[in-house]
Amino acid sequence: MSRTVYVNGDYLPEEEAKISIFDRGFLMADGVYEVTSVLGGKLIDFDGHAKRLERSLKELDMAAPVTMDELLAIHRELVAKNAIVDGAVYLQVTRGSAGDRDFAFPDPEKVPSSLVLFTQSKPGMAYDPKVQKGISVISIDDIRWGRRDIKTVQLLYPSMGKMMAKAAGADDAWMVEDGMVTEGTSNNAYIVKGGKIITRALSNDILHGITRAAVLRFAREAQMEVEERSFSIDEAKDADEAFITSASTFVMPVVKIDGAAVGEGKPGRVALRLREIYLDESCKAGI
């Protein structure tokens, strides 16, 4: 069945949704996005995603196409129209179309930004069977640009990273810069050693994950020790546990790095506990 999607003010069947070939998102990857998960028909951490979107727009001098209240209403309308129980709402804002190709930004007074949203249905996504086995990752060089804190639609290298992982028989890739892990292709990376949760500190080098913020808050509330610092692939291989977080995978155990088993080679206690807390608390707070 065709989805109902949202494009610049209209709710349309996906086949009828149109964006100009001159849209700067298409020509220049001049756009930002957010993915908010839906569990039991509720939006998970909408406020966090809306705040990060505002920040991404501000950092790129891009106008917000609607207010954050309007954005919430559009999310809810799409979840209802598409009868989403579990899944995600994808949202993208681009600098719009000036009717031609030009490197210079168009005047935002004359060229409004484009806003597109669509849903993805993933029934039972909180019960992903991969959690029981854990996932494997490979390490790859991080050759992305220097503003990874802005959630832009420049996802070519992360896509290539996922393909490199697939070719190596692994599930995903962790990116490494100056000998230290930055993050996963579409997630934040963590290790656990002696009960301590270690993850890279926030900077322009990584995306400030909304799931990361929630998971670290829950970990601290549960009296778990958290250290925000960089770690290497060697340190990760030698850790007791490893895991990733993102809005679509929540907390997912990592059991193998570059072919080497992490800890006992099975999902760790800390990762599984954090996943449980995260899902419980986020579902309760869903809107």
- Which residues are near ligand PMP by CB under 6 A? 35, 183, 186-188, 207, 209-212, 245-247
CB nearer ligand PMP, residue 48 or residue 268 = 48
- Residue type (1 letter), 229: R
> CB of residue 50 vs ligand PMP: minimum separation in angstroms?
12
Closer to ligand PMP by Cβ: residue 149 or 238: 149
122 catalytic, yes or no?
Answer: no
Cβ(161)–Cβ(142) below 8 Å: no
List the 42-43 sheet strands across, edge first: 10-13, 4-7, 114-121, 87-94, 31-39, 42-43
Quick check: 96 and 24 in contact, CB under 8 A? yes
List 42, 151, 162, 256, catalytic entry: 151
User: Could you tell me the smallest distance in angstroms from the CB atom of residue 118 to ligand PMP?
Assistant: 16
Distance in Å, CB of 211 to ligand PMP, minimum: 3
Q: In terms of DSSP bridges, do strands 172-177 and 4-7 run parallel, antiparallel, or are they unpaired?
A: unpaired
CA-to-CA separations, 188 to 3, 117, 172, in angstroms, rounded: 30, 24, 12
Helices and strands: H and E segment counts in the chain: 8, 15
Compare residues 35 and 126 and give the one whose CB is closer to ligand PMP. Answer: 35
The encoded tokens of residue 214 equal 């929630």
Least spacing, CB of residue 131 vs ligand PMP, in Å: 16
Decide whether 97 or 138 has the Cβ nearer to ligand PMP: 138
Residue with Cβ nearer ligand PMP (97 or 139): 139
Local structure of residue 97 (DSSP, 8 states): B
Q: Rounded to whole angstroms, how far apart are CA atoms 25 and 21?
A: 9
* Residue 279 C-beta: closest distance to ligand PMP, Å: 14
Q: List the beta bridge partners of residue 111.
A: none
Rounded least distance, CB 249 to ligand PMP, Å: 8
Q: What residues contact 144, with CB distance under 8 A and at least 6 apart?
A: 154, 157, 158, 175
Whole-number Cα distances in Å, 96 to 12, 91, 250: 19, 14, 32
Name the residue nearer to ligand PMP (CB basis): 18 or 220: 220
Rg of the chain over Cα atoms, rounded to whole angstroms, equals 19
- Alpha carbon separation from 174 to 103, 112, 138 (Å, rounded): 32, 37, 6
Q: Which residues are catalytic?
A: 151
